[in-house]
Structure 1
Amino acid sequence: MKTKAPSMSIIRGLLFTYDIENTDDLKREERIASVDANNEKELVELFNDLTKPEFLIYTRPEQDWFISSIEHFLETGDSFDSVFKTMTTYFSTEIADQRQFMRVLLRCLYYYKLETEAGERI
């Protein structure tokens, strides 16, 4: 299978859970608003609650595409403005360091993928 080019739009799609345009779940919205977007521990817990279940629905190639896209844009020094400037999140705090936010997300995605692969080997 051909590797897909890195894409900011798919990263934004993965983060749609946190966008105010996604308005179907008051409990989820309140959960996001309760998190300090600049606190790594709180972000990891939030990603575990909200991003992990969605990420695991995707196929392995799609999961790899999310991961490789984030890796690519981190490696090239991108600020991720094209993701965050086009969305308003439920976070009650402004994301101070978008690259750090994405590094935390990337570590979580690695973990989810490894956890899934380990489970498949059992």
Structure 2
Amino acid sequence: MIKQEFDEIASKEFVQGGISIGASSFRMVKSYYMPFLYDKLIINMITDLGRSMFLIGQLGFISIFLSQDLVQVDPGIFKFINNSITWPSFFANAFRDIRGYIWIPFFPSLAITYTILTFNVFAKGLQNLTKQNVSYF
């Protein structure tokens, strides 16, 4: 998506003018490309935050966490231990807890769902805002 935007901007006459006056590649990116791409990059970043939150929640079910330590249990036997208190860490025993203590996986999943929804709504609002204020010279 960003590559298509770069290609579209590269075909504009003012970019060709910048190339013809000998602007450096840093100057081309800073002055000719980035003013048109800031909003799209920020919207993509916020949308990707929601996607990565979803992925982190999924990895919690199979006990893969972002912050783990390798601890020696017995001589020659090592085990990964989670050393953080995060929402996905409550999913490690979700299959066992769902039968008895349902609130343990329920409230972290509710918080993750709310966070993902918030990121998506925020990105959609920014996208609508940038569509209204678009002006190309």
- How does the TM-score come out when normalised to structure 1? 0.31
- How does the TM-score come out when normalised to structure 2? 0.28
Q: Which fold has the larger relative contact order, with Cα–Cα distance below 8 Å and residues 6 or more apart in sequence?
A: 1
Choose 1 or 2 for highest CA Rg. 2
More strand per residue: 2
